[in-house]
Amino acid sequence: MIAQEDKFATLQRLQTSISGLTQIDAAQRLQKCGPNQVSNKEVRSRFNWFMPFAAVLLVIAAGLLLGDFLLIPARHRSYNVAIIVLIMGLVLATVSIIQKMQAGSNNNNLNTQFTINVTRDCQDQELALEDIVVGDIINLSAGDIVPADMRLLSSEDLVCTLNAMNKAPHSIAKSAEMKPELDRLDDYLNYPNIVYGGTSVISGSGIGVVFATGDKTILKRPASQAVQSKIKETILGQ
């Protein structure tokens, strides 16, 4: 729906205007929906894989130690293998915990370190990415990181990179006046009037309205069939 409807209909649906949200309204939305932050699912996935593996190693080490103690005479006991397995398990568990802590810290630092130009109360101001809410009017220019998923309201020679989505960098021209072609509706990553959080502006400028933040942004959703259907429902109304 957002990609196909008139931009003024999108503004009305998001209960905002080209003049931007009021500070009071933005504060209420921030309190209700939380900061524009994403959980690091990739590191969390690694953490979830490492921890069970570490637990298995610890169980094996305990079994070896117990077996040596119960089944082998004292003069023939050797705990070397059990100790090595135990150390491996402890190292994996420690590394996993450190990675998870660093991932959360790095993500928060990115959201507070970078700022974006936002229109609120009819005035342009610089805000941290984590303070962006649905309905905010964002002013994009070359070099900016797109803070959230946005429907373009106006654009001038705007080109964005999709390197946050794909392993190989890929640039695409964006235009507020164009809509997705009917025979390419499944190619939602290349919709001309939609820009996605986490991508960056290569050149040109544009103004857009935020329709999704944090973990609700497209790039932070797992690529499952159910999620792709939800994406179409949100952007296309299908």
Identify the architecture of domain 7-36+132-235 in CATH.
Distorted Sandwich (2.70)
**Which residues does 39 contact at the CB level (< 8 Å), separation at least 6?**
104, 107, 215, 220
Over residues 112-125, the pLDDT tens digits come to 568 999 999 999 99
pLDDT band at 162 (very low <50, low <70, confident <90, very high): confident
- pTM of the predicted model as reported, rounded to 2 decimal places: 0.67
> Would the pLDDT of 12 be above 70?
yes
Label residue 115 left, alpha or beta by phi (over 0 means left) and psi (-120 to 50 means alpha): beta
What average pLDDT does the segment 219-234 reach? 52
Cβ neighbours around 112 below 10 Å, total: 14
Q: What is the pLDDT of residue 178?
A: 93
What average pLDDT does the segment 96-111 reach? 54
What average pLDDT does the segment 142-163 reach? 92
Q: Look at 127 and 181; give whichever has higher pLDDT.
A: 127
Q: Look at 34 and 109; give whichever has higher pLDDT.
A: 34
Buried b (16+ CB within 10 A) or exposed e, 132-142: bbbbbbbbbee
Give CA angle at 128 (190, 12), nearest 5°: 55
Q: Calculate what percentage of the chain has a pLDDT beyond 90.
A: 42
Q: What is the pLDDT of residue 14?
A: 95
Q: What is the pLDDT of residue 106?
A: 47
> Would the pLDDT of 182 be above 70?
yes
pLDDT band at 35 (very low <50, low <70, confident <90, very high): very high
Q: Look at 59 and 28; give whichever has higher pLDDT.
A: 28
> Would the pLDDT of 238 be above 50?
no
